[in-house]
Amino acid sequence: MIRLENISKQNGHQILFIEASAALLEGEKVGLVGPNGAGKTTLFRMIAGQERPDEGQVAVDRGVTIGYFDQDVGEMSGRNAVSEVMDGAGPVSVVATELKELEAAMADPDRADELEDLVERYGEVQGRFEELDGYALEGRAREVLAGLGFTEEMMDGDVGALSGGWKMRVALARILLMRPDAMLLDEPSNHLDLESLIWLEEFLRGYEGALLMTSHDREFMNRIVTKVVEIDGGALTTYSGDYEFYAQQRAQNEKQQQAQFERQQAMLAKEIKFIERFKARASHAAQVQSRVKKLEKIDKVEPPRRRQSVSFEFAPAPRSGEDVVSLTNVRKSYGAKRIYEGLDFQVRRKERWCVLGVNGAGKSTLLKLAAGAAQPDAGAIALGGSVKMGYFAQHAMDLLDGEHTVFQSLEDAFPRAGQGALRTLAGCFGFSGDDAEKKCRVLSGGEKARLVMAKMLFDPPNFLVLDEPTNHLDMATKEMLVTALSQYEGAMLFVSHDRRFLAALSNRVLELTPEGIHKYGGGYTEYVARTGHEAPGLHG
């Protein structure tokens, strides 16, 4: 269906692909993996025809339609979300827009004298809309948007008023509605909450076309793909199986290659020692010569290319009192919207609460209240004795000084720490070498999140309040964070849509529902087992 045949590609000085080959067959669901900057987006763009390889070719079978979702959604405004989504389905959206305009014109008293012509035109346009199966398409567009978390009000409002994250969802809905023969999805799981993520997972599992996708969400990837293509050092390697199988296989291959490399190095050392020892002796000249020739002919085994996997170890957090934070009879509203009425909730030492609830249930509000970033309208919030808090909020990334480098930013935060300790900290969070000298204003969302996290965890608090800490992080950084936080001794209150993060780190669940709040002892895994659903918005 789609074949990459011996492609080579260079971006500036960076070589991305060297005679690399892979294929996407009908109905296959493939995960594309590789370190940041390895060329995943470039590969998508070449398949979509937006870029060309320097050598080799991208062959797409005749008549194959391709839908490409990337992180750059472009300008959207002036239409409602439904029209914007239907736009991907071709001419029907133009007809839908004219229908809406005619409906408005017929209801306009200033155009009463044109009514006859308008009604006649409306009949023609409506006929065309029905011919194109427009009503069914609009229903499907609404279904997809609802699955991605849109309310009716948001579907019918101007797309221009939506935030960047919601515009991403509109762009994603457009590709899903189009149902092309092949879908290329670059990080579709970004910006989704847990309910939308699970809905998308179901949708993609039921999609009959071919799928090539990247995702930093290991669980999401694992449940959808049956094949993995890895970009590494300019080559494309294909593994059959889900993401877990790929990770195990890769580790095993690396181990075998390392063992082979070590065996060969030991043999070479032995041969070289012999040559060095006997090269001056005429009696051994023939043996020395034959061994030199043998060495020249040997195929050298390369050591495995080490992925830079970083680990971060917490300094022990100071011990807090037994009660970390208590919310008593709390009431909170935003305008007419009542978020909490009579909320009672406590976090105690060593408890790790994950907070679940549909969009608008008040998850971030609860974290803000606990962190002191918002005040209740009534009721009391008390921090316990010796509590030292670390609060990671989405807006924390906007507070970085754009003119400072990553390293200066760490130095400002910890003026008494030694250079070496701060360099190590920067390296743990993915800023080794020159990356530590980047100015904060040029950092990507993921880099900013890592820097904020590094500043928060270096001198560890004993109470961590984390609002979607994994949102912009790649898989390697997430794994590092999960490993580090599972050793953490303090209390936690957090919101995340990453199920691996939820399952690995929670030992309590707070579920916010319209009927009230529910508390569960045991972590996220136990919550799923007890309730039969992975998120509050998906019952049974």
pLDDT of residue 32: 96
pLDDT digits (tens, 9 = 90+) for 476-524: 888 888 988 998 889 999 999 999 999 999 999 999 988 889 999 999 9
Collapsing DSSP to helix, strand or coil, 143 comes out as helix
d(CA 132, CA 137): 9
**Which two tokens mark 184?**
């290329």
**Bridge partners, residue 389, by sequence:** 463
Mean pLDDT of 44-64: 94
Q: Check if the beta carbon of residue 331 is closer than 8 Å to that of residue 341.
A: yes
pLDDT of residue 306: 61
The vertex-31 CA angle with 354 and 53, nearest 5°, equals 135
pLDDT of residue 178: 84
**Which two tokens mark 111?**
């155009």
* Crossing angle between the packed helical segments 419-428 and 406-413, to the nearest 10 degrees: 120
User: Which of 362, 365, 330, 361 shows the shortest CA–CA distance to 345?
Assistant: 330
> Beta strand pairing status for 55-60 and 2-11?
antiparallel
Compute CA 178 distance to the chain's CA centroid, rounded to the nearest angstrom: 23
Percent of the chain with pLDDT over 70: 98
pLDDT digits (tens, 9 = 90+) for 312-346: 777 788 899 999 999 999 999 988 888 999 999 99
d(CA 474, CA 268): 39
Mean pLDDT of 233-260: 90
pLDDT of residue 307: 59
> Would you put residue 150 in left (φ > 0), alpha (ψ -120 to 50) or beta?
beta
pLDDT digits (tens, 9 = 90+) for 183-234: 999 999 988 889 999 999 999 999 999 999 999 999 999 999 999 999 988 8
User: Which of 129, 74, 75, 130 shows the shortest CA–CA distance to 101?
Assistant: 129
Compute CA 386 distance to the chain's CA centroid, rounded to the nearest angstrom: 35
Mean pLDDT of 24-37: 91
Handedness of CA 412, 413, 416, 420 (dihedral sign): negative
DSSP count for the chain of H helices, then E strands: 18, 18
The DSSP symbol for 534 reads S
Phi, psi of 16 (to 5 degrees): -95, -45
369 versus 361: the higher-pLDDT residue is 369
Measured CA to CA in angstroms, residue 364 lies from 165, 325, 358, 360, 370 at distances of: 16, 16, 11, 9, 10
Q: What is the mean pLDDT of the chain?
A: 89
Confidence band of 539 (pLDDT split at 50, 70, 90): low
Dmax (CA) of the chain: 116
Confidence band of 540 (pLDDT split at 50, 70, 90): very low
pLDDT of residue 282: 80
* Crossing angle between the packed helical segments 419-428 and 445-457, to the nearest 10 degrees: 130
pLDDT of residue 53: 94
Please, is 342 exposed, middle or buried when counting C-beta atoms within 10 Å of its C-beta (0-12, 13-18, 19+)?
exposed
Confidence band of 22 (pLDDT split at 50, 70, 90): very high
Q: Check if the beta carbon of residue 162 is closer than 8 Å to that of residue 168.
A: no
Residue 309 scores a pLDDT above 70: no
SS (H, E, C) 105-163: HHCCHHHHHHHHHHHHHHHHHHHHHHHCCHHHHHHHHHHHHHHCCCCHHHHHCEHHHCC
Return the number of other C-beta atoms located less than 10 Å from residue 410's C-beta.
23
Q: Check if the beta carbon of residue 172 is closer than 8 Å to that of residue 148.
A: yes
Span of 277-286, 415-424, 496-505 with lowest mean pLDDT: 277-286
Q: Check if the beta carbon of residue 249 is closer than 8 Å to that of residue 241.
A: yes
Q: Check if the beta carbon of residue 410 is closer than 8 Å to that of residue 400.
A: no
Residue 439 scores a pLDDT above 90: yes
d(CA 433, CA 407): 10
pLDDT of residue 310: 63
User: Which of 75, 92, 93 shows the shortest CA–CA distance to 84?
Assistant: 93
